[in-house]
Structure 1
Amino acid sequence: MEEFDFIVIGAGSAGCVLADRLSADGRNKVLVLEAGGSDRKFFIKMPIGYGKLFYDEKVNWKYETEPVDGLAGRTSYWPRGRVIGGSSSINAMCYVRGLPSDFNDWRDMGNPGWGWQDVLPYFKRSETFVDRDGNSHGGGPLYVSDVYRDMHPLKEHYKAAAREMGLPVSDSMIDDPEGIGFYQINTKNGVRCSAADAFLRPAMKRGNVKLESNAEVTRVLLDGKMATGVEYVQGGVRFKAAARREVIVSGGAINSPKLLQLSGVGPSDLLRKHGIEVVLDQKNVGANLQDHLGISYFYRATVPTLNNQLTPWWGKLLLGMRYVLTRSGPLSLSVNQGGGFVKSDEKQKRPNLQLYFNPISYRTETSGERRLMHPDPYPGFIMSFQPCRPSSRGHLEIRSGNPVDKPAIHPNYLSTNQDIEDVIAGGRLIQRMAGTPTIQKLVKAAEGPDVSTMNDEEIVQDFRERSGSIFHPVSTCMMGPDPQSSVVDSKLRVHGLERLRIVDASVFPTVTSGNTNAPTIMVGQKAAEEILSGC
């Protein structure tokens, strides 16, 4: 059995950071195990290509929740990256740190060292910003590009509507997150910059990092209450590897609690039900699940949109040639262009809604493909919102002792009055935006349910029937000081076990207000610092 100082389970957003940082001084021998395969695929590297990856089982776990009462009995589809780079290889690339108050909340929940001023240096350590003029700022390996100049001209309508509503307008949704703005994205010279590109590939140039892909970890090896290594399957063959210092689980908010449960760490009744020996009775493994829900409203436009460029075959051909030759144009961008964090009314102490404005419209029903490059055959656009901080909490649990079986996911969406109130507030805000003079001139007709005509009950019912995950699951191995209510401590060490740490979005005490990839990378940076300092 081969030995390593550290074994990192999962080459996703946090795992790639850990591989880089833990191997940097050349002294530590690091094994990275990834269930998926290569990320060297055209539709991963081309930014708008993520629509092709949305249902691609070659790079995607393709999770589906159990039916949800709050969604009128519907299930919810959850794509997660099963590929080198994890979900950073298949996401929409929006780089959003979150609101400073999100992290102050974490600190105030009993997690010292996790306030905004504490975590900001770890964000900055990763980042190199490319501004609108092409100038680079910062020395981190993860590129964050301001692509405002390349965005569709429809952006000016969105900005004008915000001003007509009296909403603040932000030039940088990273430095000044409150207000209407335009998303900076993880691209470098028109190509996706994933966690694998930024962190893992530099680490792989060192002789002390070993990456095993298509290697699915089946359990953490425990000697009493001490993690000693892992067992994994690769090519149908079972292997074991030993860890001299630590095993670090970075499988994400679904796979990390699943692996702990399979390893005998979880609710004892659940484990015994599936014939798994209980090493640690820990009811919070898989509990406290949170996720963002959002809804889109579709409109026919009176002016050309991205639909006009991408609908005809010759339009696709021209844009494809432009991308191949110059790495520029609409294919070098995300379709999530406008957005922002806003307060629904003056009573709110901080933004409670995240917005999206896309200069394209496409069908979003589960159809085997997110049709970003096959939009509606008429000019169209989308306005969307998601409540920032849902209070509902769900859970997930293994279905059996077989590692191949996907877990049962119960998100418990819309189970609190606060979440319902936020849905109504979001619908009302979109009504206000749709009623501005600028948007009125832009809209030829609403396509599908028209939020402008809905009362509060109809807004909620429409949300129950059409909303979907924004793909930000977190908190299933929650950080906190008390083992009775959390899984890891503020150093991300598993309560009650030795030499086992969890480093990914599953440790978030609460979901951040926006996209979760940037905070997950930050968690990887901060955890690496703690590990290297001997904590």
Structure 2
Amino acid sequence: MQTDLINADENESGMTQEFEYIVVGAGSSGAVIAARLSEDPAVRVLLLEAGGRDRHPLMAMPLAFFQLLRRPEVNWGYTTEPEVHADNRRLPVFRGKALGGSSSINGMMFTRGDPRDYDQWAQLGATGWSFEDVLPYFRKMEKSWRGASARHGGDGPISTQRHPMDNRLCTALLETARQKGHALTDDFEQDYEGFGAPDFSIHRGRRASTSKRYLEPATSRENLTIAIKAQATQVLFEGNRAVGVKYLQNGAICEARAGCEIILSGGAYNSPQLLMLSGIGPAEHLREMGIEVKVDLPGVGQNLQEHPGVQSSFQPHGAMDFENAIRFDRIARSVLWWRLTGKGLPATLPLTAMAFYKSRPDLERPDLEAMFLPTAMDAKVWFPGIIKGRGSVFSTSTIILRPDSRGWVKLRSANPLDKPRIFWNLLGTESDRALMRHGLRWMRELLAGDPLNQMIGEELRPGPAARSDADLDAYIRQTIATAHHPTSTCTMGVGREAVVDPQLRVYGVERLRVADASIMPIIVGGHTNAPSIMIGEKAAAMLKAGPSDERPEEESRLSRLRDEVV
């Protein structure tokens, strides 16, 4: 029997189903966990996904990333609270709502961050999560274009593709960086600092999401049930033991029971939201929402971290190759060729190169990222005399890798269909504001260097007149956004703000774990998709190893807190 892709008309209200495991969220981590657990035919697994199938026509094409990102039919449609240090703007929050989650709509950049990021996790109490501990799971998930090595996997589900860099603009950029004393790298997983290009999670010219690469191969398994358009609304308990999940599917209220464990993989917004809806979180906030407190865990929804980014743009000398390539007749031929072969411009992303670099030479690891694009962010297909294009622009992004600012996620109400409140608190510290100013000035200096200055000319934004700290701060407030890498709202560790232990078990209850980017103690200094998949792989291995009754000493503290809850 084929795996059920359950729609509301295939399930009846009030019907209770029995499984060993229930995984909530079919995104970058959850899809991995469900696929791995269901490898054992004796284990029944239910995977709940609030979105639908990953069949949007733009999903497969890497080049369509910018257009896909804002499509409401595959996005949760969240916005932030007014960002105090960003002129009180409410900023869009892009999160995938489909099988594969954000891996089905993201930019496919496949980096892990600095190895010392994971060593820092272990130092903060996440025992078993040092780089040497997690490296086997990075290798297990990867099918590198380089082949297998000590740092790369050769036969994992997620294929990676090399980014083409054989163009005059990239050559000029790398030579300018070299002359300014920056290292060049062919592999950010081997040499983290320097200029180069990331690997991309692309398989034969098409997006390699966790849905395509993990779930689709598992669809013939009778023991894996995937329920789409099924939004979890509450974790069900008997005493302190998680026993099931209530979910809404096309207006019908359904329940499913788990004989072993429940795993929340909704990401940095939806996992804390579901915990709080289930009575696990900051007691005062839950009471304000009219929710009975089951466990007072003050860290749920706190410690939200993001990668803040600011764009600059420059006027090139002459037309850019990318602008010429997206003329209507040319891009139409390219798309046809791509559909037939998986090759050509649509199989890539408009990236010239990127860099991880230090704001000060005495730092242990890079604290800034730079991205260089041969186009404007709002570039569009054009044709002479009929459709006006955006014009040739060279764009850059300056991204803070480990911001000091912390935000939060809170409930809007006790209604599970209400969107959560999200506050990034971008630039909430003077250290972050100073670092962003440094990055913009660094970018100007780099692009003024030879030979790149022969191809790139006047600065368009923020513009040559923006020189003082006040001028740059004003521009930053007006334009700052993020890389859409939210983490850390269900922090793993042993401190008072920790939500899960190093086995990913939620403190204060049994048989409930969280496994997604929300468990990161500190955001990684890279892109978060590959680390999220790694978390899924490691979580699945933990679950397969069987339940553990051992708890760190911190559990005794949380037991006391639980006893104090009225």
TM over 0.5: yes
The answer as to whether partners of 1:53 and 1:60 remain within 8 angstroms in 2 is: no
Instruction: Measure how far apart 1:516 and its partner are.
Output: 0.4
Q: CA 1:183–1:72 in structure 2 vs 1: closer, same or farther (change >3 Å)?
A: same
Q: Which residue of 1 aligns with 2:5?
A: none
- For residues 278 and 306 of structure 1, the distance between their equivalents in structure 2, rounded to whole angstroms, comes to 59
Deviates more, 1:522-531 or 1:8-17: 522-531
2:423 to 410, 414, 420: 410
- For residues 117 and 143 of structure 1, the distance between their equivalents in structure 2, rounded to whole angstroms, comes to 22
Letter of the structure 2 residue corresponding to residue 474 of structure 1: T
Q: Structure 1, residues 119-170: CA drift from partner, whole Å, max 9, x if none?
A: 11110010011149xxx96110111111225x65421122112112211000
* Partner SS, residue 80 of structure 1: coil
Q: Structure 1, residues 455-501: CA drift from partner, whole Å, max 9, x if none?
A: 3332233212111011001001111113x211000010000110000
Given the alignment of the two structures, is residue 434 of structure 1 paired with residue 450 of structure 2, yes or no?
Answer: no
Q: Structure 1, residues 182-201: CA drift from partner, whole Å, max 9, x if none?
A: 12101011010001111111
Q: Which residue of 1 aligns with 2:479?
A: 466
Q: Could you say which structure has the larger radius of gyration?
A: 2
The answer as to whether partners of 1:307 and 1:361 remain within 8 angstroms in 2 is: no
Deviates more, 1:2-11 or 1:462-471: 462-471
The answer as to whether partners of 2:466 and 2:472 remain within 8 angstroms in 1 is: no
Instruction: Measure how far apart 1:42 and its partner are.
Output: 2.2
* Partner SS, residue 316 of structure 1: helix
The answer as to whether partners of 2:169 and 2:455 remain within 8 angstroms in 1 is: no
Given the alignment of the two structures, is residue 114 of structure 1 paired with residue 94 of structure 2, yes or no?
Answer: no
Query: How many residues align structurally?
Result: 523
- For residues 425 and 121 of structure 2, the distance between their equivalents in structure 1, rounded to whole angstroms, comes to 22
The answer as to whether partners of 1:19 and 1:203 remain within 8 angstroms in 2 is: no
Q: CA 1:343–1:243 in structure 2 vs 1: closer, same or farther (change >3 Å)?
A: same
Q: Structure 1, residues 399-446: CA drift from partner, whole Å, max 9, x if none?
A: 111111101111111122321222122122102212202232112432
Q: Which residue of 2 aligns with 1:90?
A: 105
- For residues 5 and 137 of structure 1, the distance between their equivalents in structure 2, rounded to whole angstroms, comes to 30
Gaps of 5+ in 2: 1-15, 383-387, 549-566
- For residues 213 and 105 of structure 2, the distance between their equivalents in structure 1, rounded to whole angstroms, comes to 15
Given the alignment of the two structures, is residue 43 of structure 1 paired with residue 58 of structure 2, yes or no?
Answer: yes
The answer as to whether partners of 2:46 and 2:225 remain within 8 angstroms in 1 is: yes
- For residues 167 and 318 of structure 2, the distance between their equivalents in structure 1, rounded to whole angstroms, comes to 12
Given the alignment of the two structures, is residue 489 of structure 1 paired with residue 501 of structure 2, yes or no?
Answer: yes
Matches within 5 A, 1:203-214: 203-214=218-229
Q: Which residue of 1 aligns with 2:345?
A: 330
Given the alignment of the two structures, is residue 521 of structure 1 paired with residue 533 of structure 2, yes or no?
Answer: yes
2:293 to 259, 273, 278: 278
Instruction: Measure how far apart 1:321 and its partner are.
Output: 2.1
The answer as to whether partners of 2:25 and 2:47 remain within 8 angstroms in 1 is: yes
Letter of the structure 2 residue corresponding to residue 391 of structure 1: D
Q: Which residue of 2 aligns with 1:127?
A: 142
Matches within 5 A, 1:336-415: 336-363=351-378, 371=379, 377-415=390-428
The answer as to whether partners of 1:119 and 1:526 remain within 8 angstroms in 2 is: yes
- For residues 154 and 164 of structure 2, the distance between their equivalents in structure 1, rounded to whole angstroms, comes to 19
Deviates more, 1:429-438 or 1:318-327: 318-327
Deviates more, 1:312-321 or 1:524-533: 312-321
- For residues 47 and 372 of structure 1, the distance between their equivalents in structure 2, rounded to whole angstroms, comes to 15
Matches within 5 A, 1:87-236: 87-131=102-146, 138-148=154-164, 152-236=167-251
Q: Which residue of 1 aligns with 2:253?
A: 238
Q: CA 1:373–1:352 in structure 2 vs 1: closer, same or farther (change >3 Å)?
A: farther
Deviates more, 1:76-85 or 1:419-428: 419-428
Letter of the structure 2 residue corresponding to residue 61 of structure 1: W
Letter of the structure 2 residue corresponding to residue 279 of structure 1: K
Given the alignment of the two structures, is residue 34 of structure 1 paired with residue 46 of structure 2, yes or no?
Answer: no
The answer as to whether partners of 2:169 and 2:352 remain within 8 angstroms in 1 is: no
Q: Structure 1, residues 78-129: CA drift from partner, whole Å, max 9, x if none?
A: 1000000000000000001111111011011011111111111110010011
Q: Structure 1, residues 314-358: CA drift from partner, whole Å, max 9, x if none?
A: 122222222223222221112234102111232322111111011
* Partner SS, residue 238 of structure 1: strand
* Partner SS, residue 248 of structure 1: strand
Letter of the structure 2 residue corresponding to residue 358 of structure 1: L
Deviates more, 1:97-106 or 1:353-362: 353-362
Q: Structure 1, residues 278-319: CA drift from partner, whole Å, max 9, x if none?
A: 111111110110101111111221244244334432122222
Q: Structure 1, residues 181-239: CA drift from partner, whole Å, max 9, x if none?
A: 11210101101000111111122221110000010111111122111000011121110
- For residues 529 and 510 of structure 2, the distance between their equivalents in structure 1, rounded to whole angstroms, comes to 28
Deviates more, 1:77-86 or 1:301-310: 301-310
Deviates more, 1:426-435 or 1:297-306: 297-306
Q: CA 1:147–1:452 in structure 2 vs 1: closer, same or farther (change >3 Å)?
A: farther
The answer as to whether partners of 1:301 and 1:444 remain within 8 angstroms in 2 is: yes
Q: CA 1:37–1:430 in structure 2 vs 1: closer, same or farther (change >3 Å)?
A: same
- For residues 521 and 79 of structure 2, the distance between their equivalents in structure 1, rounded to whole angstroms, comes to 23
- For residues 318 and 430 of structure 2, the distance between their equivalents in structure 1, rounded to whole angstroms, comes to 40
Given the alignment of the two structures, is residue 445 of structure 1 paired with residue 458 of structure 2, yes or no?
Answer: yes
The answer as to whether partners of 1:142 and 1:186 remain within 8 angstroms in 2 is: yes
Letter of the structure 1 residue corresponding to residue 206 of structure 2: V
Letter of the structure 1 residue corresponding to residue 155 of structure 2: G
* Partner SS, residue 501 of structure 1: strand
Letter of the structure 2 residue corresponding to residue 105 of structure 1: Q
* Partner SS, residue 59 of structure 2: helix
Given the alignment of the two structures, is residue 66 of structure 1 paired with residue 78 of structure 2, yes or no?
Answer: no
Given the alignment of the two structures, is residue 25 of structure 1 paired with residue 25 of structure 2, yes or no?
Answer: no
Letter of the structure 2 residue corresponding to residue 262 of structure 1: L
Identity of aligned residues (%): 37
Instruction: Measure how far apart 1:76 and its partner are.
Output: 1.8
The answer as to whether partners of 2:244 and 2:256 remain within 8 angstroms in 1 is: yes
The answer as to whether partners of 1:173 and 1:340 remain within 8 angstroms in 2 is: no
Q: Which residue of 1 aligns with 2:306?
A: 291
- For residues 96 and 444 of structure 1, the distance between their equivalents in structure 2, rounded to whole angstroms, comes to 31
Matches within 5 A, 1:300-319: 300-319=315-334
Deviates more, 1:297-306 or 1:277-286: 297-306
Letter of the structure 1 residue corresponding to residue 64 of structure 2: G
Instruction: Measure how far apart 1:52 and its partner are.
Output: 2.2
Q: Which residue of 2 aligns with 1:368?
A: none
The answer as to whether partners of 2:26 and 2:265 remain within 8 angstroms in 1 is: yes
Instruction: Measure how far apart 1:56 and its partner are.
Output: 1.3
Instruction: Measure how far apart 1:373 and its partner are.
Output: 5.0
Given the alignment of the two structures, is residue 508 of structure 1 paired with residue 520 of structure 2, yes or no?
Answer: yes
Q: CA 1:91–1:495 in structure 2 vs 1: closer, same or farther (change >3 Å)?
A: same
* Partner SS, residue 240 of structure 1: strand
2:488 to 454, 464, 475: 475
- For residues 524 and 409 of structure 1, the distance between their equivalents in structure 2, rounded to whole angstroms, comes to 24
The answer as to whether partners of 2:139 and 2:153 remain within 8 angstroms in 1 is: no
Q: CA 1:25–1:281 in structure 2 vs 1: closer, same or farther (change >3 Å)?
A: same
The answer as to whether partners of 1:307 and 1:376 remain within 8 angstroms in 2 is: no
* Partner SS, residue 42 of structure 1: coil
- For residues 197 and 451 of structure 1, the distance between their equivalents in structure 2, rounded to whole angstroms, comes to 46
